[in-house]
Amino acid sequence: MRNKSIILPKDKFDLETCKNLYKLSDKQFIEVSSELLTWLQDGNWVIFPEIVKLFIAKQDIAMDEISKVFNTNNVIWQYWILSELYPRLTAKNKMLINKQLEKCFNKLSLKEEKDEDDMNVIELLHFILNKKYKNDENMIKNNKIFKFDKNRNIPYSLHDSRVKDIKFHNKTLTLKVDSIFEYINGEEKIYKGRICFKDCDIDLCDILIFNKTLGKGRFTGKSFYLEEFMDKYKDAEFEIITEGYFGNSTTYMGWLWEKDKVPVSAIMYIWNSGDMEYLIEEENI
């Protein structure tokens, strides 16, 4: 096809071009389907929902391209396909790619070192294929979910915990932390886990980053929307020192760590109207 660039979205905000994609003939769609599918690599892109709708409408002629995603090593892309497109496929089309999903599941299961993105895809495939994944303690069946009541004392603390990763999807903000401390009868246990803020308004979440660790003397700082922070500080870790909860607001104060840099003070503000959940994974020690 000539002039593909005219047909394809220019960027993740190009909703106007997306509207015209529904006018493509089946032959034209097949010729650009591989390029269009790449726009399903991030569910936070503005045009993502429109591309999903397009592939739902054209699914009968798109299954070959969709299945190829599970031959790649891009687990984030696979996650978005599994969570947002696969559930909307017909039963017949699901069956067409289930063998490819099983190969993907087996491949990821054999990885010696799995990160959170790998585990997210494994968990989705586990439920889709009804597999029993016995060899990993991180499986969701071994996790504990604790709903946090801000009006009551709870046995968990995030003091000295480090936020290793932040994700936002389907109005849920998730903080992956290296330590969740539990205190019962004078005994301390330490777990890995995630903190999930349901019905989070990401536009009301932000973070203040200072030029030093706060104490005496002058200081300066910058304020970032949390989404902006997630993009600019992907490799940084936020160490929580104090935590505060009031109404729909959560405040974490602590230090921001970047590689080969002295830590600086930071304050993170989170706003959500839904539940706050602790997803407790395996015990660290």
Taking the chain (285 residues) in runs of 10, the rounded mean pLDDT of each run is: 77 90 89 93 91 92 94 93 90 90 90 85 82 41 62 78 90 91 81 90 95 87 94 94 91 95 95 89 61
Which amino acid is located at 87 in the chain?
Answer: P
200: DSSP letter: B
Look up the pTM and report it.
0.54
In this prediction, residue 118 carries a pLDDT of: 87
Pick the closest to residue 103 from 137, 60, 145, 72 (CA basis).
Answer: 72
- Fold adopted by 4-129: 1.25.40
Q: Three-class SS string for the chain?
A: CCCHHHHCCCCCCCHHHHHHHCCCCHHHHHHHHHHHHHHHCCCCCCCHHHHHHHHHHCHHHCHHHHHHHHHCCCHHHHHHHHHHHHHHCCHHHHHHHHHHHHHHHHHHHCCCCCCHHHHHHHHHHHHHHCCCCCCCCCCHHHCEEEEECCCCCCCEECCCCEEEEEEEECCEEEEEEEEEEEEECCEEEEEEEEEEECCECHHHCEEEEECCCCCCCCCCEEEEEHHHHHHHCCCCEEEEEEEEEECCEEEEEEEEECCCCCCEEEEEEEEECCCEEEEEEEECC
Sequence spans of domains, the chain: 4-129, 143-283
The Cα–Cα gap between 181 and 164 comes to 16
In this prediction, residue 114 carries a pLDDT of: 84
